[in-house]
Homo-oligomer: A and B are copies of this chain.
Amino acid sequence: MGRVKLQIRRIENNTNRQVTFSKRRNGLIKKAYELSVLCDIDIALIMFSPSGRLSHFSGRRRIEDVIGRYVNLPEHDRAGRVNMNKEYLMRTLNKLQCESDMAIQLSNGGVANTKAEKLQQEISMCQQQLQICVERLRYFDAAPMSISPCTPSTDLESCEKLFMDSLALVCDKKSKHES
């Protein structure tokens, strides 16, 4: 809808992304409202804007109640779908991971890693990030500052796109399966 057909990928321009968010958020909430009334159902919608601000909607019941209903579902009411989703996604992710691992290995000049070593590396990386995170928190406790954005890796982005495409496929399939 609109003057041109829009590709579904991250809008890089900050202003445009925020504007599109505002418009589409309103549209989404309107649709959610209509669905809740037309079909007389419980619905909960939670969104965080690009700047981290919360938007949410729920129909006749409070959002906490709907979340509660979700959380309190018996295991078997959620398990099947969720696991199917997860398994598929995990397969896709593993495939992607293998590919990127191979790329890394090649660029590293072929350092051989056992699985345990790779995991250990992941742990180290994560430790570093946690440390950085903690440092930032400490800093904020003293004085607020603006933090330089992290550099986006093209590999990560294409990886993420593949992932989201897979997700779309899964959701699509899932929807057809359920309805």
Known contacts: A46-B44, A162-B134. The answer to whether A29 contacts B175 by CB under 8 A is yes
Q: Which of B32, B71, B173 contacts A28 (CB 8 A)?
A: B32
Q: Which of A131-158 contact B (CB under 8 A)?
A: 131-134, 136-138, 140-153, 155-156
Q: Which of B29, B68, B79, B83 contacts A89 (CB 8 A)?
A: B68
Q: Which of A64-118 contact B (CB under 8 A)?
A: 64-73, 75, 77-79, 81-84, 86-87, 89-90, 92-93, 96, 99-100, 103-104, 107-108, 115-116
Q: 21 A-B residue contacts at CB 8 Å?
A: A10-B40, A17-B39, A18-B39, A21-B41, A29-B171, A31-B31, A35-B47, A45-B45, A53-B178, A56-B78, A64-B82, A68-B89, A71-B89, A123-B149, A127-B151, A127-B159, A133-B133, A137-B140, A137-B169, A138-B169, A143-B146
Provide the residues of chain B in CB contact with A136, threshold 8 Å. Answer: 137, 142
Known contacts: A10-B38, A84-B64. The answer to whether A126 contacts B149 by CB under 8 A is yes
Supply 6 further A-B pairs (C-beta < 8 A) apart from A123-B123, A133-B145. A26-B175, A33-B168, A44-B47, A60-B164, A137-B166, A144-B150
The main secondary structure of chain A at its interface with chain B is helix
